[in-house]
């Protein structure tokens, strides 16, 4: 589908479309140096993932995506737009293409709360559209973990037990979380955490985790029933751990972390519209676009 804003012709896609996907992936590879191919092959592009682009002579010159994320914010369900894949080819920059695409999207969703993570080199760009940079935090706890790695079952992404958990999870943060971003989570698993999926049979919980020396990064915990971190830590398949960092707001685990403010020039976080953000929060890493 295309529309003409009077200045440029904008193409639109929100479904599996092989021809469009090829153009999109070629742009992403040139600008960011990685490919969406594994994700696209799984046909995960659905109506929640909208792409707006400028295409000329069989080339996608510029693109802006939104993911229509259903979020929990301070206990309330909120429909939001998460901006991502904001990319313009080098030979097409300086022509206002990204600006036109963002303005077009905002004209379609003027009152929908929006958020994005920006490139540190363009901090002055997004405020032009009403985005405001906000402080982000890293939740972590000091803890001693010395467990047998065999306590958990190493999973592959396509293992049925894991996929069933992913699509039937019911435990979410009441502070801030996303409840419909499974396709985005699969993207992160494919690109970053393929070898970091564990199943804890004792509690029917899946854990995405990476360790770096004595630090453990708990990227995500996927559960159908509430569980406390006090119980969970005895089943995590890691040893010599002294600090655990959470890639999400861990309030549902009945744990009180230390919230460390992050450098606002590293992965700058922007919001637009009406948000009732808590004092401390961690946007779930597995739902970032």
Domains of the chain: 2-135+263-287 (3.40.630.30), 138-261 (3.40.630)
pLDDT tens by residue, 164-194: 999 999 999 999 999 999 999 999 999 999 9
pLDDT at 67: 98
pLDDT at 6: 58
pLDDT grade for 248, boundaries at 50, 70 and 90: very high
pLDDT at 63: 98
Cα–Cα dist 17/28, whole Å: 16
End-to-end CA distance of the chain: 23
Residue 2 scores a pLDDT above 80? no
* Region of 94 on the Ramachandran plot (φ > 0 left; ψ -120 to 50 alpha; else beta): left
Cα–Cα dist 114/236, whole Å: 35
pLDDT at 7: 74
Q: CA angle, 93 as apex, 25 and 1 as ends, to 5°? A: 50
Least confident of 114-123, 138-147, 202-211: 114-123
pLDDT tens by residue, 199-241: 999 999 999 999 999 999 999 999 999 999 999 999 999 999 9
pLDDT at 18: 97
Q: Which residue has the higher pLDDT, 119 or 193?
A: 193
Q: Which of 192-204 are b and which e, b meaning 16 or more Cβ less than 10 Å from the residue's Cβ? A: ebeebbbbbeebe
Q: Is 149 exposed, middle or buried (0-12, 13-18, 19+ CB in 10 A)?
A: exposed
pLDDT at 80: 98
* Cα–Cα nearest to 285, from 217, 194, 216, 226: 217
pLDDT at 1: 54
Residue 144 scores a pLDDT above 90? yes
DSSP type of residue 36: -
Q: The whole model's pTM is what?
A: 0.94
pLDDT tens by residue, 19-59: 999 999 999 999 999 999 999 999 999 999 999 999 999 99
Share of the chain above pLDDT 70, in %: 98
Cα–Cα dist 122/72, whole Å: 29
Q: Is 2 exposed, middle or buried (0-12, 13-18, 19+ CB in 10 A)?
A: exposed
Residue 4 scores a pLDDT above 70? no
- Whether 10 and 3 have beta carbons less than 8 Å apart is answered as yes
Cα–Cα dist 250/256, whole Å: 8
- Whether 229 and 154 have beta carbons less than 8 Å apart is answered as no
Cα–Cα dist 200/205, whole Å: 5
Question: Containing H/E element for 27?
Answer: helix 18-32
């Amino acid at each position: 589908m295309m529309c003409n804003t009077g200045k440029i012709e904008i193409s639109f896609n929100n479904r599996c479309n092989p021809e469009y996907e090829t153009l999109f992936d070629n742009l992403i590879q040139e600008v960011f140096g990685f490919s969406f191919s594994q994700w696209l092959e799984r046909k995960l592009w659905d109506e929640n993932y909208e792409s707006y682009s400028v295409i000329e002579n069989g080339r996608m010159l510029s693109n802006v995506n939104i993911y229509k994320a259903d979020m929990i914010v301070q206990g309330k369900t909120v429909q939001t737009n998460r901006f991502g894949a904001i990319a313009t080819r080098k030979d097409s920059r300086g022509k206002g293409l990204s600006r036109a695409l963002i303005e077009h999207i905002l004209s379609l969703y003027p009152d929908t709360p929006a958020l994005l993570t920006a490139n540190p080199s363009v901090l002055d760009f997004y405020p032009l559209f009403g985005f405001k940079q906000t402080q982000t935090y890293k939740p972590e706890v000091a803890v001693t973990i010395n467990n047998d790695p065999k306590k958990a079952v190493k999973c592959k992404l396509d293992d049925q037990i894991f996929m069933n958990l992913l699509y039937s999870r019911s435990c979410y943060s009441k502070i801030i979380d996303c409840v419909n971003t499974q396709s985005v989570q699969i993207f992160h698993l494919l690109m970053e955490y393929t070898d970091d999926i564990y199943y804890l049979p004792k509690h029917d919980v899946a854990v995405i985790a990476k360790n770096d020396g004595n630090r453990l990064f708990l990227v995500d915990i996927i559960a159908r029933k509430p569980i406390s971190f006090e119980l969970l830590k005895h089943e995590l398949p890691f040893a010599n751990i002294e600090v655990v960092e959470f890639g999400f707001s861990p309030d549902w685990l009945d744990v009180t972390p230390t919230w460390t403010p992050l450098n606002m020039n590293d992965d700058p976080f922007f919001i637009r519209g009406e948000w009732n953000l808590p004092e401390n929060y961690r946007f779930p890493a597995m739902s970032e676009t």
